[in-house]
Structure 1
Amino acid sequence: METSAITAIYAECSGLPTPVSADLTEQHVGGQGLRVYTVNSEWSQINLVGGSRLRFMQQWTLLVDHHDDRKTLRTALPPGPCAPLQGELLRCFSPVRGLRAVVRETSGNHQILEIWDSHGLRKSLDLTALNKHGPVYNDAQFGCLSWSECESRLLYVAERTQSSSAESPGKSPCGKTGNVSVLRGVPSHISPGQALWAPGSRVVVFVGWSHEPFRLGLKFCSNRRSALFRLGLDGHCECLSGADVSISSPRLSPDGTTLVYLQGRVFGPHNQCYDLQSKKTSILVDVVNRPNPDSQRVIFSSACRNRKDLFVVDRRTNIVAFLSDNLSEVYGSWKLLTIQKDLMVVCCSSPNTPPTLRVGFLPPSGGTVEWQTLHQPGVTFDLHWTVLDVTPTAEEDNTQYSGLDFGAVLVKPRDDFHGAKIPLVVFIHGGPHSQFPAEWNTTTAGLVHLGFAVLMGFGQDSILSLIGRIGDQDVKDVQRAVTTALQSDATLDPKRLAVIGGSHGGFLSCHLVGQYPDLYRACAARNPVINAATLLGTTLAVMLERSPITHAAQIQVPVLLMLGAKDKRVSPHQGLELYRALKSRDSPVRLLWFPEDGHSLCRVDTQADCFLNTALWLLQYL
């Protein structure tokens, strides 16, 4: 196949926009219970020609009937044209007056705080020139932009400078003065983030990450020691949570009486999940417990086996219910973007359905949501997907966690190719604390377009079962999933199997072609862990024994390695070690080196290169 044809397929799959966030404002319109809701959504889209990621905003106006506490969406007006977001780092709408706060970066590397209202730009502050703090954080871990209840102050987190005696968060009053001040009282041994205002605009709540024994990396490792803090504008600070836990995502109830947050074990699983069989839920922590008919239900989206679904949990009964509709077979993934005034904005997708924006009101307890689609993807894909249940054999069963099963998502072309069997690509997720849910995936869609079937998404129900069994149990789990897929689908070709994956997925990919050298015909690994012992700076026999490098002599299949020179998560020397081992044995191996990219290989040009070369590699050897 010509490279231009592969590139065209990738451009079609990767160029679809994805909603990443949403905000809501509400207005009363005369009598008759009619109200107007405005949905402001931010989208991300890849521009393959320009080698960049575009960000733009799109707005919908909803006409809503309010009758006896029942809200019904009457109509959604057609959206206006998309508006590109130039230099915006953070954005937030005030809850009552609909003021729009923006932290923007200019071409001169200055960060500007802007306040917009219905008449245009109301105020602009050059935060860099004020020299109160360093750069404002806009990442998901620390970044925030929060309006106070009185809508006269904004809260954000920024880098501390030598001139400031305390770590940010910074507070920026937005009235006539336009002063910017650094909040005092943040303990010196923590880094604050994810801050928000408590009712009354005199207290803020934030998550603080410990510096002891030193600052640990948080990217891909959200399970570091952290705590929830309450900080008054007078500088008084107190800890609201335990000392040896991992805290994230604090949210305040609409009535301001209850604070809900996620809590997990330090160095435990990176992400918790909800188990429908055991009825276990994430912990709900009531900072203020006051009987009130409002604010009693918590809405969240969470992984549930190989799907992402939308849930509501009633704090009074701990009963958890689904909020997704009977289109669960169409949309395998539901992601909550925001909920305000009981209006939910969600992003739905599946392996054959690109991201779709939908809205619906939270119904009374026991009711169903009347969902309405605001944005349909511009392109649909005629792919078939199904979820397979995988059960390890008795010999593979982990006696400490007996009976664990898991799911795998199989995606393949709908055409039967006139009876010809379909080559299977086993796509393994990284982590190992992550998953491949039944959602839109550019790589998967592109490979299926090229005529491959793709198996993805397997992993243990409990990541704790892997402790001490990395490189053994997880390898057997993948192989069991492959065996299950081949036995359940006669259209798959068992003689044309390949395996691909990144990070821990690359680790398992290399394990599979080393431990099962006669089953696979090709491998493509991105920034794989190859020798776990060298990651610790010492030679540990057990770590070495569990590493793919010990099976290098058994690897017979062609191996494509893609490495980022700036990878701080897994040293690129890991991949180079396997490359040299295979090269010395004259095994077919190719190395792609990306000098400006890191662990995620997330640059637009890098992602395109990786897909093109992976596709060519698989087409050549399958």
Structure 2
Amino acid sequence: MASGTQRGAGSWGQPAEGQRSSPGACYRELSRFPAVSCAALGATAGGQGQGQGQAFLLHTECRQPDLPRRRLLRFSRHYSVQRTERGLAISRAALSTEIHNRLLGQDSPSGQRRAVLVRRPPQGHELLEVWDGSGRSHCVDLTALGKHGAVYTEGPFACLAWSHLETQLLYVAERSRPTLPAACPGQVPGAAEPAEDEDEEGEQFVYHEGWGEKLSTCSAPVLCILDIKSSSVSVLESVPEHVSPGQALWSPGDTGVVFVGWWHEPFRLGLSACSNRRSGVFHLELAGGHCELLSVPNRASFSPRLSPDGQRLLYLEGAVGGPHRQCLQLRLLTWQTRQTVTVLDVVQEPTGSESSFTGIYTDALPLQCWAADSRRALLCTPQRSRTDLLLVDTETSTITNLTAGSPEGCWELLTIQWDLLVATCSAPHHPPSLVMAELPPLGQELPLRWVPVEDTPPVPGITWKTLTVQQNSAPHSAGPQTFEALLLSPTGGTTPHPLVVCPHGGPHAVFDARWRPSMAALCQLGFAVLLVNYRGSLGFGQASIECLQSRVGEQDVADTQVRSSKQVLMVGR
């Protein structure tokens, strides 16, 4: 990487062999590295980011464990970014500041305004605020308006989207329901309510089916629009009653809303971490209330992203039923003609090459994923035991892996604006670093020149490598016979290392080569760690996922045992 702003963590105090730190102290030391959760670029008064010499402001939000207080510390960092003939020049623009009570945040398309949803104690009211260069310009107490319940701030439904004209905000909240009224002074508890409320008496005790694990408070989401000038909120009532809406954005010209709708049938339970629930991409016209299904029926379609020119809609699509997470298609809809094509299809079995494309397994496309040419798009997805950044030409369906072969095993795109990429990268021995790059013209993307913004040094005393395992055929085995594992080992010393074996949960998940403080701590304490991506893990093709069906608890266990028994001998040498 080229030089830029580097904020190292300082020198490491590596204890001598036989003088290991306590487990608690070791974990506290290794968990102090912040992870960047989101980033946004804003153009300065010089324009919209075209040409050389353009200045930008980079805003990031970070999360860091606060172990003594058992909470997650959230804070912001700000940087100044300058395009020059030599490339990007980056410097810290302000000191870090802690973020309090903020639930959601989103910058406007021009980068000149920011919308934030905050919760104000002690009543806990939710306020939607708009900030610009002069300070806070608008503040609306959503709770006091009473148009809906709590705003969705995380999970598959949540969104906060600016209209293209930056006059309205779109978000998702729980439908308003009757609540238990507070007792009036002098009123006897349990006394009858006035006649006009008799129809709703007791409704606050009715059970409403939620959307399951991590979404138990989400039952009936509704689309809501805040008009910034009038500070008024409207709930869109034309959404079909058989679906729950989420992941909404504005259609071209701000005449409608594009959203994802999840079918309620056969039941709501079980949406978290399940890309196999029936869903579709819809378009709702604001004027007439007409709602149109844009994607094909009886599929799982989600994560819509509109191109900068408003002519193309990109989204992910998969099969309904089967494994809870699967290999997905990348679909493209032309807005004017409503014609849909498959840009990238499901990969059944990747080719033997390590750099070959293995399919899409991500939960969602980045919120900002389109290049300025409205032709190329970027996404991050597991590719075997790595998570790589891929560039997709939507016209030719060609893929360029921008991070293949890099020493970092996990790349996550935070945003791309005005063809400036902001990403984080990490490895099992390397805490996350924040980096930036300029996206070159079409056909000239490689090599991509990454510039460090916050560069964290590697942790000494840890080495890692990817192991490929060839499993022999057995009565409980089917499909592909090859899988992988990540081996983390302490460096130095002559005595054998005890081995800790970790199969991931899911079972359709993956251990990618990212930074994990708990695993690094085990290495610092003298253990070797084996992270097993048994057959059925994401990132190795759809055939690998399906071969685990009806064999959970047998094939995955056998793969882990085979890998572990072989590795015990290797680590002990």
Q: TM-score, normalised by structure 2?
A: 0.77
Asked if the contact 1:155/1:171 (under 8 Å) is kept, the reply is: yes
Cα–Cα, structure 1 residues 79 and 169, in superposed 2: closer, same or farther, change >3 Å? Answer: same
2:65 paired with 1:20: no
Q: CA deviation at 1:483?
A: 3.4
Match of 1:453 in 2: 528
Distance in 2 (CA, whole Å) between partners of 1:280 and 1:315 is 18
Q: Secondary structure at the match of 1:481?
A: helix
Distance in 2 (CA, whole Å) between partners of 1:335 and 1:32 is 26
Match of 1:323 in 2: 402
Q: How does 1:483-522 map to 2 (within 5 A)?
A: 483-486=565-568, 489=570, 491-492=571-572
Q: How many residues align?
A: 471
Asked if the contact 1:28/1:34 (under 8 Å) is kept, the reply is: no
Match of 2:148 in 1: 133
Q: CA deviation at 1:353?
A: 0.3
Cα–Cα, structure 1 residues 161 and 479, in superposed 2: closer, same or farther, change >3 Å? Answer: same
Asked if the contact 2:82/2:90 (under 8 Å) is kept, the reply is: yes
Q: CA deviation at 1:2?
A: 11
Cα–Cα, structure 1 residues 279 and 12, in superposed 2: closer, same or farther, change >3 Å? Answer: closer
Greater share of helix residues, 1 or 2?
A: 1
Q: Give 2:314's aligned amino acid.
A: V
Asked if the contact 1:453/1:492 (under 8 Å) is kept, the reply is: no
Match of 1:574 in 2: none
2:403 paired with 1:348: no
Distance in 2 (CA, whole Å) between partners of 1:4 and 1:486 is 24
Asked if the contact 2:429/2:458 (under 8 Å) is kept, the reply is: no
Cα–Cα, structure 1 residues 65 and 255, in superposed 2: closer, same or farther, change >3 Å? Answer: farther
Distance in 1 (CA, whole Å) between partners of 2:83 and 2:307 is 23
Q: Secondary structure at the match of 1:272?
A: coil
Q: CA deviation at 1:138?
A: 0.5
Q: How does 1:62-461 map to 2 (within 5 A)?
A: 62-65=81-84, 73-107=87-121, 108-162=123-177, 168-175=222-229, 177-234=230-287, 235-269=289-323, 270-272=325-327, 277=351, 279=357, 281-282=359-360, 294-324=373-403, 328-329=406-407, 331-364=408-441, 365-368=443-446, 369-377=448-456, 380-395=459-474, 398-399=477-478, 401=479, 403-415=480-492, 417=493, 419-460=494-535, 461=540
Q: Give 2:42's aligned amino acid.
A: T
Match of 1:478 among 560, 565, 568: 560
Distance in 2 (CA, whole Å) between partners of 1:82 and 1:371 is 23
Asked if the contact 1:167/1:186 (under 8 Å) is kept, the reply is: no
Cα–Cα, structure 1 residues 32 and 362, in superposed 2: closer, same or farther, change >3 Å? Answer: closer
Match of 2:331 in 1: none
Segments of 4+ in structure 1 off by > 6 A? Answer: 1-4
2:537 paired with 1:463: no
Q: Structure 1, residues 163-210: CA drift from partner, whole Å, max 9, x if none?
A: 89x9521000112x1111111211111111111111211111111111
Q: CA deviation at 1:250?
A: 1.3
Distance in 1 (CA, whole Å) between partners of 2:88 and 2:268 is 52
Q: Give 1:14's aligned amino acid.
A: S
Q: Structure 1, residues 235-291: CA drift from partner, whole Å, max 9, x if none?
A: 2111111222212221111211111111111233414376752756459xxxxxxxx
Q: TM-score, normalised by structure 1?
A: 0.72
Q: CA deviation at 1:377?
A: 2.5
Distance in 2 (CA, whole Å) between partners of 1:265 and 1:58 is 40
Structure 1 stretches lacking a partner, 5+ long: 67-71, 284-291, 494-622
Distance in 2 (CA, whole Å) between partners of 1:258 and 1:32 is 25
Asked if the contact 2:503/2:534 (under 8 Å) is kept, the reply is: no
Structure showing greater relative contact order (alpha-carbon pairs closer than 8 Å, 6 or more residues apart): 2
Distance in 2 (CA, whole Å) between partners of 1:281 and 1:463 is 12
Asked if the contact 2:499/2:529 (under 8 Å) is kept, the reply is: yes
Distance in 1 (CA, whole Å) between partners of 2:34 and 2:531 is 23
Q: Give 2:375's aligned amino acid.
A: Q
Q: Give 1:119's aligned amino acid.
A: S
Q: How does 1:573-612 map to 2 (within 5 A)?
A: none
Q: Structure 1, residues 5-48: CA drift from partner, whole Å, max 9, x if none?
A: 21111111222110111111123638983111221111110001
Q: CA deviation at 1:217?
A: 2.2
Cα–Cα, structure 1 residues 358 and 22, in superposed 2: closer, same or farther, change >3 Å? Answer: same
Distance in 1 (CA, whole Å) between partners of 2:239 and 2:98 is 37
Q: CA deviation at 1:55?
A: 0.8
Distance in 2 (CA, whole Å) between partners of 1:115 and 1:486 is 58
Asked if the contact 2:305/2:314 (under 8 Å) is kept, the reply is: yes
% identical equivalent positions: 39
Q: CA deviation at 1:434?
A: 0.8
Distance in 2 (CA, whole Å) between partners of 1:396 and 1:341 is 54
Q: Give 2:159's aligned amino acid.
A: C
Distance in 2 (CA, whole Å) between partners of 1:271 and 1:58 is 36
Q: Give 2:516's aligned amino acid.
A: N
Distance in 2 (CA, whole Å) between partners of 1:294 and 1:40 is 24
Distance in 1 (CA, whole Å) between partners of 2:372 and 2:74 is 40
Match of 1:69 in 2: none
Cα–Cα, structure 1 residues 483 and 396, in superposed 2: closer, same or farther, change >3 Å? Answer: farther
Asked if the contact 1:354/1:440 (under 8 Å) is kept, the reply is: yes
Q: Structure 1, residues 50-99: CA drift from partner, whole Å, max 9, x if none?
A: 11101111111110148xxxxx6331122421111111110000011520
2:23 paired with 1:6: yes
Cα–Cα, structure 1 residues 355 and 301, in superposed 2: closer, same or farther, change >3 Å? Answer: same
